[in-house]
Amino acid sequence: MASGGLQLLGFVLAFLGWIGIIISTAMPQWKMASYAGDNIVTAQALYEGLWMSCAMQSTGQIQCKVFDSLLKLESSLQATRALMVAAILLGLVAVFVAVTGMKCMKCMEDDQVKKMRMAVFGGVIFIIAGLAALVATSWFGNRVARAFYDPFTPVNARYEFGSALFIGWAAASLAMLGGAFLCCSCPRRETSYPPTRGYPKNAPSTGKDYV
């Protein structure tokens, strides 16, 4: 029962991490810049994500523009996109695989060994998905930090970490932690030894056996 509870906890954490990865990928707040000009009315906040850039005016109006051409984007941004999409697809596969191996499901009840292996395999896929999202968010965050501290970057063009990065880091951690719990939920096999056979005792020999 303890392994079943650990398995369920791991799946819930990994599933929440996968949902967080999807939300982080879709959010436009991967990096943000806030500045105000001479007139406070013209103050605005700029956001950039993987798919679009947005500007929010002080009046509350938000204008977003989707990136037009994929080929015009930086190679690092394209790689970040690919890693996040790969993390989402891997997480989707991990959900189906892990659900098949859950003890509370009736799938593959006739073969418990394969059922446990499916749960462990789903946990491994969750860990890989979390690693892909962690690499993507950390890489993007490193680029933002380097550009921020670059003295040649204009003041009004310096960006800081957006909320999507923090959500991505937390989601990647949850996915990897949940995957690790799924891998550890498989109970160890107890080594069973065959029962020892008792050797028959030799009957005492009598003198009648000899001629």
* Residue 58 lies inside a defined structural domain of this protein: no
* Residue 42 lies inside a defined structural domain of this protein: no
Question: What is the total count of domains within the chain?
Answer: 1
Per-residue pLDDT of the chain (211 residues; tens, 9 = 90+): 456 678 889 999 999 999 999 999 999 999 988 554 444 444 578 889 999 988 887 777 888 888 877 777 888 899 999 999 999 999 999 999 998 877 766 665 666 677 788 888 999 999 999 999 999 999 999 999 988 888 887 777 788 899 999 999 999 999 999 999 998 866 555 444 455 555 555 555 555 554 4
Q: In the prediction, which pLDDT does 22 show?
A: 96
* Residue 171 lies inside a defined structural domain of this protein: yes
DSSP 3-state helix, strand, coil percentages of the chain (rounded to 5)? 55, 10, 30
* Residue 51 lies inside a defined structural domain of this protein: no
Q: In the prediction, which pLDDT does 177 show?
A: 96
* Residue 81 lies inside a defined structural domain of this protein: yes
Burial of residue 98 (number of CB atoms within 10 Å: 0-12, 13-18, 19+): buried
Q: In the prediction, which pLDDT does 62 show?
A: 83
Task: Domain of residue 173: give its range.
Answer: 4-27+75-184
CATH number of the domain bearing residue 89: 1.20.140.150
Burial of residue 144 (number of CB atoms within 10 Å: 0-12, 13-18, 19+): buried
Q: In the prediction, which pLDDT does 191 show?
A: 44
> Which position has the token pair 């003890």?
103
Q: In the prediction, which pLDDT does 74 show?
A: 86
Q: In the prediction, which pLDDT does 124 show?
A: 94
* Residue 60 lies inside a defined structural domain of this protein: no
* Residue 211 lies inside a defined structural domain of this protein: no
* Residue 23 lies inside a defined structural domain of this protein: yes
